Chains A and B, each alone.
Chain A
């Protein structure tokens, strides 16, 4: 188990560094950051001045090396656009994104697990088909379209919910639904498959033969075992939601990390973009690592392989 843990940890560190190098290179491939910072229509003199003042005139490898050395010492740099320490901006906005991710995940689990259970109780019945349809629509429907539809009905027509901002818990309802609905099909199908497998196992048959109540069999014995793979999936998907909230944060004008990432790419704010990529990849890697560990703990065959 220790060897496996160290191996996975090593891979995780290498992935974080690779992602960081790739993102640094890609921002240069997409154009000159000095031009982006100086603004559209800036004169050559303005751009040269920006390049000199912000150190873009140094070789790329030197810039990257400098950033990496500082990052390893805990200094993530200073945003070229927001003119503030990168770490403080990120940690100011991270809680909003984490809250949105958690609410979205909660919405997805609350919708998908009951649907999966209901579908498994009556496989291939009308209920199963309806549950499957509800879930699949979530995956098929573009999240931006779903988000705008929610705004149209809940925000404009019925005026039940605020459209933008993060002032109250109500502000998180529509974004969480829009972001979480996408995750529903995977969770629902995994729950359904797990439940079907567990429900046909010997110990469930034994529980039923002992005369336990159907609900006790279903929730105490079957669901607890069927849901284990869902937990590891949810852990990984939480990482995805932190990085994948860009569209939803933009639509609902939520000042979170996803929106910050998108804006930083647009304005070629290298230190900010690098730090966000690093933070998000660390989160994602950590969650994947935890899921791996959980799976290995639950299933010894994974450790051996």
Chain B
């Protein structure tokens, strides 16, 4: 793959600067052509959990609330106002001027139907955790509903804004049956209230969307500007770059750093490195289950934190929008406390800690990873400088996950995207509450998180997350590494701004 990218990049490097021509096709027929590497066959945000459907979900559907990316505030979308009724119920007033793409009116029945369908585990929603906190929904009036929660769930609005989209009442009732006799909910025709409506799907090839001219006034998403959106699947990045250069595409992302930097010289292309919610971290076998017991000793874990030059990895390998993180969370998430014990790059201090721990001559251990091999290799290189020799075990995610959970990895270098949920409960509570992903089983952290995760008092949450993150950092249960950043490239004809949550809002795009 590297050889291929290098060879092609050499060619692209010579051609991109020499070719001022940009994407003409999209602007001339008012169609934004965008691509990514995954096939899309099912256009339903509950039955397809890929990033592509998260993006399309926000284009074709609306949630009850809207999260303002700039301020982090929740604003009305399909709901006009809301209030908590105790710790486990939210009452919402709904808009009465919204229509679905099929022309039907939006009202309380649609909300009740959608929430009761998706929260029923038997209906097989793929990312069930997005809705697992919902007990049920009740109709209180033609445009008023109550959502009952299973237990206090403070990030409810983050999920309502990012992952819970409204379908028309009866949407999943008339779907065909699968050969096993079960209803095939994924076959439901996509109908939402969003700024774009799905007009054609060719499984694995393209998805066409058309501007929803009837989109309601006053939506914080704004009125859509571009007439058509055409999503295509192009797996090979070099091919996608070639299409962008020749006008076949208007927008691509996940461009490798070296190619993005070369494309930036092309006057017809805009290249930008933008934040994502994904973070990189090293997790240790704190309990010594893997047979390599070095990491039971806090000083060894702290030595790792001092030995790795995270700034250099961020700057040289990831991209300018990436930042080093001191806490086990993303800085943009609610509750991601930054004021925790920090470990600067200091190889001498690392050596001193290792000597103190009885490893003056270093040791050998196994590290496991699945993504961006070069990042892990940089970590291994830094560790070698303080005398620690790491053997890299590079595996597919689906195989590695079980190995990690069984405690068989002395150190694992993993990543976590938090499902783009801007709340730390989407990361820290997954890894430190004695669940299957918790390799530390620390009672104190669990105790702090139990308070923070179950209180709807924001100040109290911050206080207890502070305690939890401080302990995680002090004990060096993880070495939080950096936030991921990805390169976007788009035609100069297109007025587009990336967002920090890895969900491009194409409905705000327009032509220059």
Contacts and interface: CB of A to CB of B under 8 A. Distances in A.
In the A-B complex, the 6 residue pairs with the smallest Cβ-Cβ separation, listed nearest first, are: A31-B398, A31-B399, A83-B186, A82-B41, A35-B398, A36-B398
B232 A253 contact: yes
Interface of B: 4, 7-8, 11-12, 15, 19, 39, 41-42, 47, 49-50, 121, 124, 126-129, 132, 178-180, 184, 186-187, 203-205, 232-236, 238-239, 242-243, 245-246, 248, 396-402, 416-419, 430, 435-437
B402 A156 contact: no
B39 A82 contact: yes
B388 to A, nearest CB: 28
B512 to A, nearest CB: 23
Interface string A115-159: 000000000000000000000000000001100110110011101
Interface of A: 30-33, 35-46, 49-50, 53, 55, 70, 75, 77-79, 81-85, 89, 93, 144-145, 148-149, 151-152, 155-157, 159, 162-164, 250-253, 255, 259-260, 262-263, 268
B11 A250 contact: no
Contacts of A253: 232-236, 239
A75 B186 CA distance: 20
Contacts, number: 146
Contacts of A85: 179
Contact of B124 (A33, A41, A49): A49
B41 A83 contact: yes
B419 A32 contact: no
A32 B238 contact: no
A35 B179 contact: no
Nearest to A151: B242
A93 B47 CA distance: 23
Given A33-B398, A35-B398, A39-B50, A75 B179 contact: yes
Given A152-B11, A152-B15, A253-B235, A159 B49 contact: no
Given A145-B7, A163-B239, 6 more contacts: A30-B396, A32-B401, A82-B39, A89-B204, A144-B4, A164-B243
A263 B234 CA distance: 12
A257 to B, nearest CB: 11
Contacts of A78: 178-180, 184
18 contacts: A31-B398, A41-B419, A42-B129, A43-B128, A43-B430, A44-B435, A45-B132, A78-B179, A78-B180, A81-B41, A152-B8, A155-B246, A156-B19, A163-B243, A250-B235, A250-B236, A260-B204, A268-B398
Contacts of A75: 179
Contact of A49 (B128, B179, B248): B128
Given A46-B127, A156-B19, A253-B233, A35 B242 contact: no
A156 B124 contact: no
A42 B132 CA distance: 13
A53 B121 CA distance: 10
Contacts of A31: 396-402
Given A82-B203, A83-B42, A164-B248, A151 B239 contact: yes
A164 B234 contact: yes
